[in-house]
Amino acid sequence: MNMKLLPFEYAARNLGRSPLRLVLSVGGSLLVVMLVLVAAGFVQGMQTSMQISGHENNTILLGAGSEESIERSEIPMRTAGILSASVAGIRNRAGVDAVSPEIHLAMPLSLAGEAEDQPGKLAVIRGFTSEAMLVHEHVVLTHGDLPNEGQNEIAAGQLAAISMGFNPPELMIGQFVRIDDDEYEVVGILGAAGGVIEGEFWIPLTDLLVTAQRDSLSCVVVRRETAEPDDLEVFAAQRLDLELISMEEMEYYAALSAFYRPVQLMVVITAILIALGGILGGLNTMYAAFASRVREIGSLQTIGYSRSAILISFIQESILASATGAILACLLGWLILDGFIIRFSLGTFGVSITPPVMALGLLSGLILGVFGALIPAWRCLRKPIPEALKAGE
């Protein structure tokens, strides 16, 4: 025998019986789903930034023992020249080998107009040569020019410029920034398809050597053409005087992503704990709402509706409120959170509210609607019909 269900309109009309309860239910769902979007968007943005940064034909040579951080690596300045002369099969364009000597530093950077006694924002700065554009093919100059050596010029990644308060990022061109005691003029904006380079500042290698007061490189990045990764590993093993290790660029960023996984986990756990508080508050709200309708529940049972049918109607009512909050949260997340800049030791990256992230948010809203009604409604439905009809007398 088919179960007699209450009309869907009954659940929809009941939402308007208490505007305050409706606002609390929608608001609670919105808050919980927003937290889910923040956590998932944070993890998605960081992972995407890492995944698209490496190239399968790029190999990094860095100091032994610095596998987890290029910033800590130091190798001799002569490494790039020795490598070009020693390893065959390196990409070559117009007689120039795709061997990029680089410095990677995290240093305070501030706008020149800011007070000198105020600490600048920690920024990832890369010292580069013209060969870097042969190695990092995905890097494009979106606005302005590349910095010239000896001119105290600097290029900013798109996310780096936005993190400094310039949106759109090309507004930063012409501004002066201070690094240590030196001032640099921003002459260009770099794009890298969302990779980590978009969160960096690029300075000509010789200029950064002077500013940072160092005489060593952080790494050498090589674009292989016919050479194999083993060829670079053999070179690093043979040149003991250089104290090198060889890593594939994709492996380096995969290891870096694994290194920051505890940070991602901490963000997710924090969001879950806060969302749990919102869920418990929602349960209290729904229980108070259903407890005031005990006599109504008894009347519905008297005219022939089963407890299961009433429970389904209450779940529909809760899902409507939760789904409304979830949709609003996804809309706000897409408008406000998507692309929101997060600064950390690696540089900067944007929170990524992708379709899968939004789907996760909507799913969490639906689950919240089901479980938000299930427990409070069942507690009210357990009462016998005579007792339910006498409630509130």
Structural tokens at position 269: 């756990």
What pLDDT is stored for residue 264 in this prediction?
83
Helices of type H across 164-243:
205-212, 229-238
Q: How many CB atoms lie within 10 A of CB 326?
A: 29
Least confident of 114-123, 234-243, 322-331, 349-358: 114-123
How do residues 220-243 score in pLDDT, each as one tens digit? Answer: 999 999 999 999 999 999 999 999
Distance of CA 259 to the CA centre of its chain: 15
The amino acid present at 260, given as its one-letter code, is: Y
How do residues 364-388 score in pLDDT, each as one tens digit? Answer: 888 888 887 887 777 777 776 676 6
Q: Which helix (H) or strand (E) holds 392?
A: none
> Is pLDDT above 80 for 2?
no
- What is the distance between the alpha carbons of residues 189 and 208, in angstroms, rounded to a whole number? 18
The amino acid present at 110, given as its one-letter code, is: S
Q: What is the pTM of this model?
A: 0.79
How do residues 306-321 score in pLDDT, each as one tens digit? Answer: 888 888 888 888 888 8
In DSSP terms, 93 is beta-bridged to: 96
What helix, strand, coil percent values describe the chain, rounded to 5? 50, 20, 25
How do residues 27-73 score in pLDDT, each as one tens digit? Answer: 888 988 998 898 888 888 888 888 788 889 999 999 998 887 888 89
- 8 Å CB contact between 345 and 359: no
Mean pLDDT of 112-139: 86
Q: How would residue 115 be classed by pLDDT, with cut points 50, 70 and 90?
A: low
The amino acid present at 181, given as its one-letter code, is: D
What pLDDT is stored for residue 80 in this prediction?
93
Length of the chain in terms of residues written: 393
Q: How would residue 88 be classed by pLDDT, with cut points 50, 70 and 90?
A: very high
- 8 Å CB contact between 103 and 92: no
Q: How would residue 24 be classed by pLDDT, with cut points 50, 70 and 90?
A: confident
What pLDDT is stored for residue 81 in this prediction?
93
The amino acid present at 335, given as its one-letter code, is: L
- 8 Å CB contact between 125 and 203: yes
CA count, 13 A, side-chain hemisphere, 33: 34
> Is pLDDT above 80 for 392?
no
Mean pLDDT of 285-295: 71
What pLDDT is stored for residue 369 in this prediction?
84
What pLDDT is stored for residue 171 in this prediction?
95
Q: How many CB atoms lie within 10 A of CB 309?
A: 16
Measured between its terminal Cα atoms, the distance across the chain in Å is 36
Please report, for the chain, the start and end positions of each structural domain, with discontinuous segments joined by +: 8-51+261-389, 76-242
Q: How would residue 324 be classed by pLDDT, with cut points 50, 70 and 90?
A: very high
- What is the distance between the alpha carbons of residues 202 and 105, in angstroms, rounded to a whole number? 10
